[in-house]
A and B are shown apart, each in its own frame.
Chain A
């Protein structure tokens, strides 16, 4: 501050002209910054894992015979990290189901990991719901959160229902403003389901106690 307060004749401090040498230094500096930024990008790509077909992150194919019966407890597919639920009339009209989310009959593939903090929730038969052992989030078979600290419904994987000729009959469609997956109805011509564990549809926001937006 003392320098600024010192008496200096007005207008004497002429700006230094930018010399060629100085400019070249700046250019060099910019090139280093760009190289560093590019290097950071390359480092991220270097460190990101890549997935092979068939492992978790790829497509899992399931025969229709392996599906759980309608309204039965969900079936666990640990390799693909998902539960398959077969939603029937009983599940769809569950009185605990928050009214903000419509439930259609059909199949859903629920990502096995709690949307709160990444623990694996469990199916609790006596309560007819999923419960997370870490912080007590509770979910219905329909994927709706009904209790606990989670703040959205369960994430689901994209399912394609395929017939004998390889044609896709139905698939999980995003509903509710792109943040909730629909159920896939099983018609007689469907032979296999293809669950794409690399394509996760994030569950709809659900924040109220007891469930609901």
Chain B
């Protein structure tokens, strides 16, 4: 007997049944294998939404296939609508996968080194087909993911779904929230422009506040790999962003998801008797089977959301334009941390870095993490949880107020001359001057107060903004505040615009501040 033999039973079948029948049988066999138990007729009945017989062939994939065994075979009828989950958990998972896919694509053109990172970004945006689209998608997905994960937590809190037996699910969820925030934050540094370097520097200097001083300093050195961000810090944040945090995320998501399936989706609070959990005891008549209804809807969400994301990124959303190359020796005026950390910055404006930047946030996170282990009231009904729900409403309001306080509009004052110039040429985004029509910047000297006599609409607009900003600087200690804009021909297609603020001090001495920017015909700031 030969040790090695090739035998194709299909050929015997063709001989025995004829080609047509043999092919049809083989096709049926392959479909049944791929679907782990449903033959072509079962699949077609599924697609036609025909009533299903017994034994139900649509249950087989749930017990035999890897992907379907993770999905429950049926949901409770009450969980079929938008309320009470708003699909927020599902959406979080969707965005996690979405970010992994777009992120891997971007990794192909990116090297985490200060020597090349910025250049790589410029290359992605100007020399990679779909590079700009992918960056927009990745950034849009990241911001959407932060929002969705936070809303998911809020929803879980409001419907009381963290209560027994789902305490540990909540805990892993809080870990996932942390992973989401730090993922987003660490990704912020990677473009290596002024905006990313300094926003992340502000955020990261929070760890330096950890008492005692030796701990803070060591933690800071561990995170940044040096006293300040440089090659080491960029590499470490990159590794956090693409290896460590996704790995922690996948593990925590696995546990979180397993617990969700184990305990079932918690029903709306008013649907159950107080203290009972009937999520896993669904009467036959209330069951909605995964196939075809839930499966169809999830496919709809995948296609609909992906379509929506691409439409948004194509027509509406633009990731912030690349600013100047990161420079560890110049801090831009009015730089802030990313929006989801503005509340933390707001707290830091109230008071001490150690207390408000570290002890209080750590305490808050600890409280949220362990919430289900000390908030053990048995009722999930809204009416019975007035204190808890009020606390949530207050927290949301406090977050909104603190976020406002964290923005540059609150309590950040520099000298008024610099503020007025920065209103036209801000240091964190292109701003009105760079975005105005190049051709309308006629050469000449213009005075802000006489804005309505300027020759072109763009100049009138700019000088009007300048004039309004200067009006704020007018005070008893500053007399005769005046602003000038000088536009000169500098080179082929290059104009020099000088903004000058002059005033008279109370002692009669003159004051002058001026800043020049150069504008090229093709710099396209308005185009993003």
Contacts and interface: CB of A to CB of B under 8 A. Distances in A.
Direct contact of A and B (CB under 8 A): yes
Interface of A: 44, 47-49, 56-57, 78, 81, 113, 116-122, 124, 126-127, 131-136, 149, 151, 202, 207
B509 to A, nearest CB: 10
B415 to A, nearest CB: 6
A151 B198 contact: no
Nearest to B357: A117
B513 interface: yes
Contacts of A121: 331
Contact of B411 (A47, A49, A113, A149): A149
A133 B333 contact: yes
13 contacts: A44-B218, A47-B225, A117-B345, A118-B205, A119-B198, A121-B331, A122-B331, A124-B415, A133-B334, A134-B331, A135-B349, A149-B351, A207-B351
Secondary structure class of chain A's binding surface, majority of residues = loop
Given A57-B227, A131-B414, A117 B202 contact: yes
A126 B513 contact: yes
Interface string B185-228: 00000000000001001101110100001000010011001111
B208 A133 contact: no
A149 B213 CA distance: 20
Nearest to B414: A131
B387 interface: no
Interface of B: 198, 201-202, 204-206, 208, 213, 218, 221-222, 225-228, 232, 329-336, 345, 348-353, 411-415, 417-418, 427, 511, 513
Contacts of A133: 331-335, 414, 427
B411 A136 contact: yes
B173 to A, nearest CB: 27
A136 B331 contact: no
Nearest to B352: A151
B229 to A, nearest CB: 9
Lowest 3 CB-CB distances: which A-B pairs, in order? A118-B205, A119-B331, A133-B333
Contact of A151 (B351, B415, B511): B351
Contact of B417 (A116, A126, A149): A126
A134 B412 contact: yes
B415 A127 contact: yes
Given A116-B348, A117-B202, A120-B329, A135 B412 contact: yes
- Interface core residue of A78, A120, A132 (most chain B CB under 10 Å): A120
A74 B450 CA distance: 38
B358 to A, nearest CB: 12
Contacts of B208: 118
B31 to A, nearest CB: 50
A153 to B, nearest CB: 14
B338 to A, nearest CB: 14
A67 to B, nearest CB: 21
Nearest to B350: A149
Nearest to A129: B415
Contact of A134 (B227, B228, B335): B335
A151 B356 CA distance: 11
Contacts of B349: 135, 149
A38 to B, nearest CB: 17
Contacts of B348: 116-117, 135, 149
Contacts of B334: 133-134
Given A47-B225, A116-B348, A133-B414, 8 more contacts: A116-B353, A118-B202, A120-B330, A124-B415, A133-B331, A134-B336, A136-B411, A136-B413
A134 B329 contact: no
A155 B202 CA distance: 17
B225 A49 contact: yes
A48 B348 CA distance: 27
A135 B205 CA distance: 14
B220 to A, nearest CB: 9
Given A117-B348, A120-B331, A126 B415 contact: yes
Contacts of A120: 329-331
A95 B232 CA distance: 44
A44 B214 CA distance: 14
Contacts of A126: 415, 417, 511, 513
Nearest to B327: A120
A52 to B, nearest CB: 12
B226 A49 contact: yes
Contacts of B228: 81, 113, 118
A139 to B, nearest CB: 13
Contacts of A122: 331
B415 A131 contact: yes
A118 B199 CA distance: 10
Given A48-B218, A48-B222, A119-B335, A134 B202 contact: yes
B3 to A, nearest CB: 47
A121 B414 CA distance: 11
Nearest to A114: B331
Contacts of A44: 218, 222
Contact of A118 (B204, B222, B225): B204
A133 B335 CA distance: 7
A207 B225 CA distance: 31
B407 to A, nearest CB: 11
Contacts of A149: 348-351, 411
A134 B412 CA distance: 7
Contacts of B335: 119, 133-134
B202 A119 contact: yes
A178 to B, nearest CB: 11
A48 B198 CA distance: 22
Nearest to B353: A151
A131 B417 CA distance: 13
Given A151-B351, A202-B213, A49 B205 contact: no
Contacts of A116: 348, 353
Nearest to B203: A117
Nearest to A57: B227
Contacts of A136: 411-414
Given A120-B330, A131-B414, A49 B513 contact: no
A117 B198 CA distance: 10
Given A49-B232, A135-B412, A207 B352 contact: yes
A177 to B, nearest CB: 14
Contacts of A57: 227
A177 B105 CA distance: 55
A44 B204 CA distance: 18
A198 to B, nearest CB: 9
Contacts of A78: 329
